[in-house]
Each structure stands twice: as structure tokens, then as C-alpha cells.
Amino acid sequence: MQKAICRAPRTFVIFACLLGLSSAPASAEWALAFGKSAPNHWSFGSSWNKDSTKAARQTALERCDLHGPNCKIILEGVGACVALAVGITDNVSHASIGPTRLSAAQTALTACTANSVGDCEIRHSFCENE
């Protein structure tokens, strides 16, 4: 079983990098970009099944930039499912990886809700092999 290669800022889900993740071909690179431009205004973009880290990062940033400024890569890797949860009433967000879309979403929602004054919702999720 191949493990995801996580390269993420410490403010995001570092512990998620320690999870065992699903098998994937070495060329299935993915990336998630996220940007905040105002309270409760987020933009995101993702890419998966790319041939290189550079291609995954570039596509995710381009897609994020279409929806707003200040986009940065927050997670990238090989072989995983990813979910992004955001607070409905505040400026809280949390991205997570996992072996399935459901497990990534549950982890992201749990962490977001723990830090939010209100409810959180999944705004985006994907698996590299879908």
C-alpha cells in the first residue's frame, strides 16, 4: 500500500499525513488550493490524477483564482481522498485527507466544528482515483 506524500502548512491537518491511505499509481498527483478574501468568503480549486506535482499545483491554483484572490496550496500528495469544511457563520476552515471521501469529510467536519462558533459544512471533496 502506498502512502500519501503530504506537504502542508502546520496550520492544516498535519496529523492526517500519518494516516494510511488507499493505493494509487505513482503518477496520480493531487492538490487543493484555498483562499480567503473576506470574512466568510472562500475560494478553492483542486486537481487530481495529474502526472506531476507541478501540474497538480498549477491546475488547483488556476481553478481557485477563478473564484477569488489569495489562493495558496494547502494540501498536495499522491493517492488520497480530500475534503474541505468551512464554518457557515464564521471564518473557520479545515482540510483533511483520508482513505475514503467519507472519512476525509468526517475528519474535516469534526475539526472545523471544534473550532467554529456554529455549524460547518463540506464545501468540496474528491478522491484521486475518481
What is the percent of the chain where pLDDT is above 70? 78
Secondary structure (3-state) at 3: coil
Is residue 25 pLDDT above 60, yes or no? no
Angle at CA 39, nearest 5°, toward 36 and 41?
50
pLDDT digits (tens, 9 = 90+) for 48-91: 899 999 999 999 999 999 988 899 999 999 988 999 999 888 87
Provide the residue ranges of all domains of the chain, joining segments of one domain with +. Answer: 25-127
